[in-house]
């Protein structure tokens, strides 16, 4: 029997049972449609990032220097509360930031001039895949809002620029990363006030 004829008979049966005051069971077509809908799922956050970033074309041939790759755990900081105060952050936010644990991970990808970046904190973990130096992209910040994010390289120093795209307490920030001996330093400055975080390289888990 053709599928069209089967669907027609099912439709007639539904009308018949409805007229009798009975509750008709859903037809095969309806069950199949429901199954198709149920089988669909929303992609995970990482899958969405991967799908969008895989189409990225790097605007520059710049590559992240080899020494940046790996995991780096926060060891201590200097003048961080003073810097956050100068930026106008609330007391509560300053305490959350200064008490938080931080770990940075820069990982290689299959594309030679891109890298994956993870910002792992005791508050929230944030992941950005297939990052191109010099390319701006929309990504999530640790405040859970969208930021325009740009990584760039200048004289061996890595810069991470954030521009908030949504309402919230987050402010425009630029973080500078460079090495001082075995330390990876993250420097932030505003109106002459400078804060620093000191990271030590760790074994990848």
Residues 21-47 have a mean pLDDT of 42
Residue 134 is encoded by which pair of tokens?
């010099």
Is 22 within 8 Å of 39 (Cβ atoms)?
no
8 A C-beta contact, residue 191 and residue 86? yes
SS3 205: coil
First to last CA, the chain: 59
Query: Helix, strand, or coil here: 86?
Result: helix
Q: At what angle do helices 91-99 and 80-87 cross, to 10 degrees?
A: 150
Most confident of 15-19, 43-47, 149-153: 149-153
Task: Kindly give the interhelix angle for 3-19 and 28-39, rounded to the nearest 10 degrees.
Answer: 110
Residue 3: pLDDT band (50, 70, 90) is very low
Question: Is 173 strand, coil or helix?
Answer: strand
Question: What stretches of 3-148 show up as alpha helix (H) in DSSP?
Answer: 3-19, 28-39, 45-53, 80-87, 91-99
pLDDT tens digits for 174-205? 999 999 999 999 999 999 999 999 999 997 55
Q: Please provide residue 84's backbone torsions phi and psi, each rounded to the nearest 5 degrees.
A: -65, -35
Q: In this predicted structure, what is the pLDDT of residue 61?
A: 82
Predicted local distance difference test score (pLDDT) of residue 138: 95
Task: Please list the residues that pair with 71 across neighbouring strands.
Answer: 105, 202
State pLDDT tens for residues 142-168.
999 999 999 999 999 999 999 999 988
CA atoms of 56 and 50, how far apart (whole Å) = 10
Compute the average pLDDT of residues 13-30.
42
**Does the reported pTM lie above 0.85?**
no
Mean pLDDT of the 40-57 span: 45
């Amino acid at each position: 029997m053709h599928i069209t004829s089967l669907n027609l008979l099912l439709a007639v049966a539904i009308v018949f049972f409805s007229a009798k005051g009975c509750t008709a069971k859903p037809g095969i077509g309806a069950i199949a449609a429901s199954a198709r809908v149920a089988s669909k799922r929303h992609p995970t956050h990482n899958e969405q990032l991967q799908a969008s970033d895989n189409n990225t074309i790097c605007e520059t041939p710049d590559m992240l220097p080899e020494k940046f790759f790996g995991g780096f755990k926060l060891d201590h900081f200097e003048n961080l509360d003073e810097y956050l105060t100068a930026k106008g952050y609330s007391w509560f936010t300053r305490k959350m930031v200064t008490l938080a644990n931080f770990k940075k991970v820069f990982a290689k990808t299959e594309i030679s001039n891109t890298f994956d970046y993870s910002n792992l904190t005791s508050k929230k973990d944030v992941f950005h895949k297939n990052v191109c130096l010099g390319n701006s992209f929309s990504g999530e910040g640790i405040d859970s809002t969208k930021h325009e994010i740009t990584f760039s390289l200048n004289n061996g120093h890595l810069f991470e620029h954030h521009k908030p795209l949504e309402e919230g307490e987050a402010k425009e920030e630029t973080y500078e990363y460079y090495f001082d001996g075995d330390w990876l330093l993250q420097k932030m400055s505003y109106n002459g006030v400078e804060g620093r975080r000191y990271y030590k390289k760790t074994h990848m888990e």
